Amino acid sequence: MRERKKQATREALRTAALRLALERGPDNVRVDDIAEAAGVSPRTYNNYFSSREQAIVAAVTADRAAHLAATVAARPADVGLSDAVIDAVVGLYTSSDDHRRDALLMITSNPALRACYVDVVTTIEDPLADAIAERHPEIDLLTAHVLSACVGAAAKVALRQWLRSVSGPATPSGLVVPSGSLPDIIRAALTPLVPALDAAAGS
Amino acid sequence: MRERKKQATREALRTAALRLALERGPDNVRVDDIAEAAGVSPRTYNNYFSSREQAIVAAVTADRAAHLAATVAARPADVGLSDAVIDAVVGLYTSSDDHRRDALLMITSNPALRACYVDVVTTIEDPLADAIAERHPEIDLLTAHVLSACVGAAAKVALRQWLRSVSGPATPSGLVVPSGSLPDIIRAALTPLVPALDAAAGS
DNA sequence: GCGCAAAATTGCGTGCACGCAAAAATATGC
DNA sequence: GCATATTTTTGCGTGCACGCAATTTTGCGC
């Protein structure tokens, strides 16, 4: 029950943060405002989120980690590890919720929020490592963690690439901008990892 | 010449930060102290480093990126990409400079400095991507960036693992702690990436 | 040397993250 | 119900990162 209340506070902070940010614009929301809207002291806010942006982004990315782990575990055992992992990660970025639509637009329009959004990818790594280890007990734990970190790193590259293509019109870098949909870019970024994943899985 | 002066200031800040941190202990050094010791305003400090820890860590990790790129480029073309990359990264962590010895000890003893030290790995990624792209022009740029990010991610896992083994006596996690030397751990962490690197290089 | 444009430094103000210790809320045994 | 141990919240103080605009420094053509 203690745990219940904590999750409720978390949720309250997330939704309050997102609502205020959408109403006033992300730069016109102080952390004190969020705390007050959630009925909690400003200091408590930082017991739950360690930056002003985290709460806003968390409203959109909540329980990504659990979802990913479940998806990987749910794949039948006869599909390759690489397919299971790639499909699961792509699945995380294929939702087109309606009320998340404008939230994502706001996030992609704000540098600080963008950075935070990319950073959240990190949270999938540990659960993913566990999922890999459970699916393939023959893989040692260090390798599982390395592979998960690589998946996260590749996803980050894809996200940054996509963010550039939607927000940065000028393309000074020599990087080819396929300008495809986010799932396509993610899939492309994860493809170089297929040999590593399948080799570790022994197939 | 303008550039020269900037690098001089950077260097002054780095060395001042490291000296003060070694003298008084890292927690007893304010950013104002570093700035003053370097003969510069506190505000200017943050034009060069965006956190208090960065300057201290940078004193030990300066020009890692350039060194790595050069090492990769220097390998004869007939050694595989994976060997070239792995040897180069391992080389970054095989120096046992004398005056860096105690600096590293201080860094590994302080949580904030540890985190910053791990984060510096990120700085090798872009130069590494360039080096890979130059060595293998047939690899497209997205893949080069993904591979570099993966190398960085694996190195981070290795570093964290090693830091745990030197600073955290209790091993609550189920992770096998080989307790080997840092180069050994790095090599082990990069090994799962060999298939991906060699596949991308076409060999 | 002289003046001018570009770039770097500086001071100031603001909001923020977090350590610490007191206070409030919650669970546990009797 | 009551006392007590544990956890969570809160207030306060401190140091810090950074936007902004003014000021100083640097580079360059003459």
- Tally of CB atoms within 10 A around B60: 20
- Residues A99 and A30 occupy one common structural domain: no
- In this predicted structure, the answer to whether residue A25 has a pLDDT above a threshold of 80 is yes
B137 falls in which pLDDT band (50, 70, 90)?
very high
Q: How many domains does chain A fold into?
A: 2
Q: What is the pLDDT of residue A171?
A: 57
Strand nucleotide closest to residue A43 (CA to C1'): D10
Partner-chain residue, chosen from A150, A157, A191, that has the shortest CB–CB distance to B145: A157
- Residues A182 and A124 occupy one common structural domain: yes
- Residues B45 and B139 occupy one common structural domain: no
For residue A38, give its domain range: 2-56
The CATH number linked to B43 is 1.10.10.60
- Residues B72 and B110 occupy one common structural domain: yes
Q: What is the pLDDT of residue B96?
A: 77
- In this predicted structure, the answer to whether residue B8 has a pLDDT above a threshold of 70 is yes
| Chain B partners within 8 Å of A188 (Cβ) | 142
B88 falls in which pLDDT band (50, 70, 90)?
very high
- Residues B51 and B92 occupy one common structural domain: no
- Residues B187 and B133 occupy one common structural domain: yes
Distance CA B5, CA B9 (A): 6
Q: What is the pLDDT of residue B153?
A: 98
Q: 3-state SS string over B99-129? A: HHHHHHHHHHHCHHHHHHHHHHHHHHHHHHH
Q: What is the pLDDT of residue B176?
A: 62
Point out the domain boundary residue: A17, A32, A56. A56
Q: How many Å lie between the alpha carbon of A15 and the closest alpha carbon of chain B? A: 30
Give tens-digit pLDDT for A4-13. Answer: 999 999 999 9
Distance CA A121, CA A129 (A): 13
Average pLDDT across chain A, whole number: 92
Give tens-digit pLDDT for B48-80. Answer: 999 999 999 999 999 899 999 999 999 998 899
Give tens-digit pLDDT for B99-109. Answer: 888 999 999 99
- Residues B44 and B88 occupy one common structural domain: no
- Residues B154 and B187 occupy one common structural domain: yes
Mean pLDDT of A147-168: 93
DSSP track, A115-183: HHHHHGGGGGHHHHHHHHHHH-TTS-HHHHHHHHHHHHHHHHHHHHHHHHHHH-----S--------HH
Q: What is the pLDDT of residue A178?
A: 61
Mean pLDDT of A74-95: 93
- Residues B92 and B155 occupy one common structural domain: yes
Q: What is the pLDDT of residue B75?
A: 92
Distance CA B203, CA B197 (A): 9
Partner-chain residue, chosen from B153, B194, B195, that has the shortest CB–CB distance to A152: B153
A171 CB contact with strand D at below 7 Å: no
- Residues B83 and B44 occupy one common structural domain: no
Point out the domain boundary residue: A56, A78, A94. A56
A1 falls in which pLDDT band (50, 70, 90)?
confident
- Residues B195 and B145 occupy one common structural domain: yes
Q: Å between B184 CA and C16 C1'?
A: 41
- In this predicted structure, the answer to whether residue B150 has a pLDDT above a threshold of 60 is yes
Strand nucleotide closest to residue B40 (CA to C1'): C9
- Residues A119 and A151 occupy one common structural domain: yes
A107 falls in which pLDDT band (50, 70, 90)?
very high
Q: What is the pLDDT of residue B111?
A: 95
Distance set, CA A84 to CA A122, A159, A201 (Å) = 19, 20, 12
Point out the domain boundary residue: A13, A32, A56. A56
Distance set, CA A136 to CA A68, A75, A193, B166 (Å) = 16, 13, 17, 29
The CATH number linked to B117 is 1.10.357.10
Q: What is the pLDDT of residue B13?
A: 97
